[in-house]
Structure 1
Amino acid sequence: MFRRFRAIGPGALTAAAFIGPGTVTTATLAGAGYGYALVWALVFATIAAIILQETAARLGVISRLGLGEAVMQRFSTAPLIKWTAAALIISALFIGNAAYEGGNIAGAILGVEAAAPDLASRTVLAGIIAAFAGAILVFGGYRIIEKVLISAVLLMTIAFATALIIIRPDWSALARGALLPTIPAGAFPLVLGLIGTTIVPYNLFLHAAAARKRWQGAEGLDEARFDARVSIGMGGVVSILVLSTAAASLFGTGLQITNASDMAQQLEPAFGAGATYLLALGLFAAGLSSAITAPLATGFAAAELFGFESDPSALKFRLVAGAVLLIGALVAMTGARPVELILFAQIANGVLLPVIAVFLLYAANNHQLLGKHANGALANIGGVVVTLIAAGLGLRGVLRAFGLM
């Protein structure tokens, strides 16, 4: 058992990647606006993420291929389908990650503004943060960012768990919210956002690639599965802690969440005046780290799909990653309210998720790649149910956006 805990890595990094500014913002808005009513969405999203991320890890460990490579190999005898699939995946990833990148940078800005409100304008801060992230992408230092990201998640876990214990939530209401799915009037965008902030499409590519590097073949599969289930499960617990803390301390107060100082009020019962600085530090670290992983994931996916060098120092890789970073910075510079921008990014992820999930399940059923470790009936049922629910929620969101529902 202890050996398995020592092997935890790719799953923990994936969990750390989705515990970013989007998680804190969306879960806080859900708890402050609707109490415990939307906890079920995070329970579903966590279970769904475990199913999909375990599948991605298994694909990487057994096939020794990334998700993009597996898809291309699967359609190698049908060029039209192959390149249509590649175009669809990279378009979904690029659009989703560009929106998500804007939210990442905006989240880091929220953190800076909370600690130093008059330091600089949002446009200047967006440029500085994007330049810093770009320098790390170009010159390396990714391992340091990984450690910072994991440390930020641990800090958030301790902070919100402590605050929740001190506040003493309504445990029966929390249990009902977790077990009885309801969507109160006006809450649907937050439901989609909670799912989008937990099951991030680019994490499926990152997890497959990271697991492939960590474990060599079937002998490492048990550790990879343990890593995915424990790490993603703990990430989901953190999200539920954030929502529950906001529900216990902010629901019914009428507070409009517009900045990090507003969000920090849920931590004040435990940390007093220091709550704002604690949340500011977490938002900045999580935003900066995610601002690096989103372009990296898009670069890796593009390299796998189109066959160029899968190396962050390669020119084509840098062009793809740099484009995502640049668009995200421009979005963050538009002057849109950061909280709304982050929420939009989560909704975009929720809509794009089914596209990536379908290709993952298709690759996971390739017996030539995975042999006896290909998806069985139970894994397929779980994956199809998750994909259909995510697709249904995404379709409803699109129809509502056009006034058709």
Structure 2
Amino acid sequence: MTIKTSRFGPATLVTAAFIGPGTVITASLAGANYGYALVWALLFSVFATMVLQEMAARLGIVTGRGLGENLRELLQHPLLRWPLLLLVIAAIVVGNSAYQGGNISGAALGADALFGDIGLIKSWHNAGGINLWALLLGFIAAMVLWFGQYKLIERCLIVLVLLMSLAFIGTMLLTQPDIPALLKGAFWPLIPPGAVLSVVALIGTTVVPYSLFLHAAAAAQKWSQSQTATQTTTQLALRASARDIAVAIPLGSLISIAIVSTAAAAFFGREQTLENVAQLAQALTPLFGNAATWCLALGLLAAGLSSAITAPLAAAYALTGILGKPLDLKQPLFRLTWLVIIVCGVTLASIGVRPLKVIWFAQVANGILLPLICLCLLLAMNYSLPAPYKNSRWQNVLGVVVLLVSLILSGRSLALAFALL
């Protein structure tokens, strides 16, 4: 087996998954409402993501199976197996259908800001009221997945991640962030009044449960281990995966911090309040010029399109794995799953559902569901792997820390939600 040594690999799919319109909106609201005070939550998020994604990748590399297949094998008792598996299916497949509407809507906002003055597109919108961008972006996502080649999907997502990195970081540099305030927010953790749900949402938009299914399956496909694979080749694959995670996940965190910084520079401490990303783009023009607006729009387009590819892909990996189907991107059930999710997303985007409310609810729900997925992964890492590759004591400690923090944040968000009823 030849070990790929590229700096970018399956972890790039994770970055493409969590840097979507949900991240752009959630991070923008955090920056606009609380300035740089919640940057520490993003740093915790990248730490938690790296801990969990390392486990997911190791599980996929060693077993040659995704997280769904390993959960199916781990949970043998029907009273535990089917309720949990059905809950995971509902959370991943149904949840990603809601995410997809936001992904495509967000990408359409970026595309419209960049190319909306084209005469044909303007006349189409005025004539039928149909979101042409939603149809076009849904078609692009479907074409990338239809060919069923992992290498093609990975390369497309690497390009999109690099593109949105340049766009969002470029926007941050143009808005000239307050560096001392940024450093204080990063290394002096505090939760301003009313910011608990924002903290949960920031963590939920970064530590995405479906990314665990995505990463485990993608790592298994990129670094597939046969029965004759030696411990040496497995260790080489694990080291290549660790390098991949160490590059791609922190890059995603830097993008999130750039978005917070941009919104803080444009809105924090000003009388105007932020309600949507389009408003953020409009506010950047008089303050920082057209270049900042164009960079933000380009980043939003790349973020939405990358997530519009990874959300259906992750749901297909999760569903086919839990049902015991092989990791085959051309398998009928696999294709049907991602196709249904893309169609749902295009429909939601085309009928004009406001993406802000849909994405915000989905991100908070994501943070609440995270402890369950964390627990399942920890069980798999301790009971589904041969002894040399099981979690060490410190890996279990780190995993439990992430689990406990996610439980505390989820409890706080549930208490506040019930208090508002």
Aligned to 1:402: 418
Q: Which residues in structure 2 correspond to 1:189-338 (within 5 Å)? A: 189-215=197-223, 216=225, 217-264=234-281, 272-338=289-355
User: CA, structure 1 residues 41+146, in 2 after alignment: closer, same or farther (shift >3 Å)?
Assistant: same
CA contact (8 A) 1:58 1:225 kept: no
Unaligned runs of 5+ in 1: none
Please state how far the C-alpha of 1:14 moved relative to its aligned partner: 1.6
TM-score scaled to structure 2, two decimals?
0.86
- 1:344-392 CA distance string (max 9 Å, x none): 22222212222211111110112x5232221122111111111121122
- 1:246-293 CA distance string (max 9 Å, x none): 223331223333444433367659973133333223222321221122
> In 2, Cα distance between the equivalents of 1:274 and 1:147?
27
User: CA, structure 1 residues 267+4, in 2 after alignment: closer, same or farther (shift >3 Å)?
Assistant: farther
Equivalent residue letter for 1:392: I
Equivalent residue letter for 2:320: A
> In 2, Cα distance between the equivalents of 1:284 and 1:168?
23
Which is worse superposed, 12-21 or 40-49?
A: 12-21
User: CA, structure 1 residues 271+147, in 2 after alignment: closer, same or farther (shift >3 Å)?
Assistant: farther
- 1:296-330 CA distance string (max 9 Å, x none): 11111111111234333322223322332333334
Aligned to 1:66: 66
TM-score scaled to structure 1, two decimals?
0.89
CA contact (8 A) 1:136 1:142 kept: no
- 1:105-146 CA distance string (max 9 Å, x none): 121121133231746236554344334433443345765554
CA contact (8 A) 1:102 1:345 kept: no
Aligned to 2:34: 34
Q: Does 1:377 align with 2:385?
A: no
In the comparison of the two structures, how many residue pairs are matched? Answer: 401
Question: In the alignment, which of 135, 138, 142 is matched to residue 134 of structure 1?
Answer: 142
CA contact (8 A) 2:9 2:154 kept: no
CA contact (8 A) 2:19 2:307 kept: no
Aligned to 2:159: 151
Equivalent residue letter for 2:333: K
Counting aligned pairs with the same residue, the percent is 46
Tell me the secondary structure at the aligned position of residue 193 of structure 2: coil
Which is worse superposed, 52-61 or 261-270?
A: 261-270
> In 2, Cα distance between the equivalents of 1:29 and 1:102?
20
> In 1, Cα distance between the equivalents of 2:169 and 2:133?
31
Which is worse superposed, 207-216 or 258-267?
A: 258-267
Which is worse superposed, 47-56 or 374-383?
A: 374-383
Aligned to 2:185: 177
Tell me the secondary structure at the aligned position of residue 335 of structure 1: coil
Which is worse superposed, 188-197 or 55-64?
A: 188-197
Where has structure 1 moved over 6 Å in runs of 4 or more? none
**Cα RMSD after superposing both structures:** 2.7
Please state how far the C-alpha of 1:204 moved relative to its aligned partner: 0.7
User: CA, structure 1 residues 259+149, in 2 after alignment: closer, same or farther (shift >3 Å)?
Assistant: farther
> In 1, Cα distance between the equivalents of 2:149 and 2:290?
33
User: CA, structure 1 residues 232+378, in 2 after alignment: closer, same or farther (shift >3 Å)?
Assistant: same
Which is worse superposed, 285-294 or 271-280?
A: 271-280
Aligned to 1:55: 55
> In 2, Cα distance between the equivalents of 1:337 and 1:311?
35
Question: In the alignment, which of 366, 388, 392 is matched to residue 349 of structure 1?
Answer: 366
CA contact (8 A) 2:164 2:303 kept: no
CA contact (8 A) 1:56 1:205 kept: yes
> In 1, Cα distance between the equivalents of 2:35 and 2:161?
23
CA contact (8 A) 1:54 1:229 kept: no
> In 2, Cα distance between the equivalents of 1:40 and 1:322?
37
> In 2, Cα distance between the equivalents of 1:182 and 1:333?
40
User: CA, structure 1 residues 4+171, in 2 after alignment: closer, same or farther (shift >3 Å)?
Assistant: farther
